[in-house]
Structure 1
């Protein structure tokens, strides 16, 4: 089996490559962003693409969008998505594509080597491997206030956004790094289902959602 991996966390990427190698699964390319994933998929035509959801530059949903693009470029390409969270905005589109194998696992499942390798082989063979927590959350979408999905820190960041603070000001207020604030905001956009728009700014839409709670 030949695999392409898209994962920006160096240690996790190296660990997955090692796990696959122990099963005689060849990693033909390992990249850290969505653009390079598309290039690698087109070049190598792998048996499976293992894709992280959040990668540079915004760490929101680049991986899922790249996965969808990869399946368009190589119809039927099996894709196994790894994420710390359930990214609803594109997950439904990916999982309902109906062509080739597809999987969506939370990263904590990778710790169970047997389950992870079973998912890899199943998806590469055209099957599915969907994390139970992913299924539960997707089934529950639309039945609750989207703000309920935010963590306490994400709610705090959104509250400061509503106050008109910049990312730098939020970072100073919470005594965290600028990068951490950007990641929290990316999580907020994703959990509120706010896709990029040339008409409405996602930041404004997030604040309006917060104020309308």
Structure 2
């Protein structure tokens, strides 16, 4: 099996390369950013690319976006996203483009090297390998997106201003609404997002989190 590794942490990258080589896998390239990953895949045409999510230059989602482009440009190359993080938006896109030969595992939840090697073998064979936590978070993001889609355009405007930390009075001024109208919109937002009154949770904060997480 021919493998390309993309991991920005040099120690982890070298450790993973040595681990795989010691177990008979041919690591044809080990790189530290998304652009180098795409170049390595184009040059070596590996069976599987092992990709971290957060890499230079912004350390946000470069690796996952590179994985999506690899699947588009080289559909025969399997992709294993191996990260500490679940980036739901791009993970859903990666799977939506075709889940055959795709995996997403969380580093802290892989306790046995044999499980990791088995995942690589299965992905190279065209199977899908997903950590249950990844599935849960992707499904949760989809449900949050559906809830937000139920908001009217005006309710989305109000929620966006809530996310900026605006008070109801400030929102009323920004949208040229009465204070009472803003209160009604906020109440509808809470209802549609499934946020009932609670003595323990701050509904305004929870609504903003839903807005930011999708």
Compute the TM-score of the two structures, normalised by the length of structure 1: 0.66
Q: How far apart in 2 are the matches of 1:23 and 1:142?
A: 38
Report the CA distance between 1:99 and its aligned residue: 6.0
- The residue number in structure 2 matching 1:137 is 137
Match of 1:17 in 2: 17
- Residue 78 and residue 142 in structure 1: after superposition, are their counterparts in 2 closer, same or farther (change >3 A)? closer
Q: 1:133, 1:111 → 2: CA distance?
A: 15
**Cα distance in 2, alignment partners of residues 7 and 124 from structure 1:** 19
**How many pairs were matched up?**
153
Give the distance between the partners of 1:132 and 1:73, measured in 2 at CA: 28
Offset at residue 22 of structure 1 (A): 2.0
Q: How does 1:34-73 map to 2 (within 5 A)?
A: 34-73=34-73
Unaligned runs of 5+ in 1: 146-160, 164-208
Residue in structure 1 matched with residue 3 of structure 2 by the alignment: 3
For the residue of structure 2 that corresponds to 1:27, the secondary structure is strand
How far apart, CA to CA, are the structure 2 residues paired with 1:42 and 1:132?
A: 31
Gaps of 5+ in 2: 146-162, 166-207
For residues 67-82 of structure 1, what are the structure 2 equivalents within 5 Å? 67-82=67-82
- 1:140-151 → structure 2 map (5 Å cutoff): 140-143=140-143
Q: How many angstroms does 1:77 deviate by? A: 1.4
More deviation, 121-130/106-115: 106-115
CA offsets 1:159-213 (integer angstroms, 9 cap, x no match):
xx968xxxxxxxxxxxxxxxxxxxxxxxxxxxxxxxxxxxxxxxxxxxxx56x89
Mean Cα deviation higher: 12-21 or 46-55: 12-21
| Alpha-carbon distance change, 96 to 58 in structure 1, aligned in 2, over 3 angstroms | same
Deviation at 1:83, TM superposition (A): 1.5
Distance 1:141 1:99 in 2: 18
Aligned to 2:93: 93
By relative contact order (CA 8 Å, sep 6+), the higher-ranking structure is: 1
Structural RMSD (CA): 2.4
Find the aligned partners of 1:144 and 1:68 in 2 and give their Cα distance: 23
Give the Cα separation in 1 of the matches to 2:2 and 2:51: 14
SS of residue paired to 1:46: coil
Match in the other structure for 1:128: 128
In structure 1, distance between residues paired with 2:128 and 2:39: 25
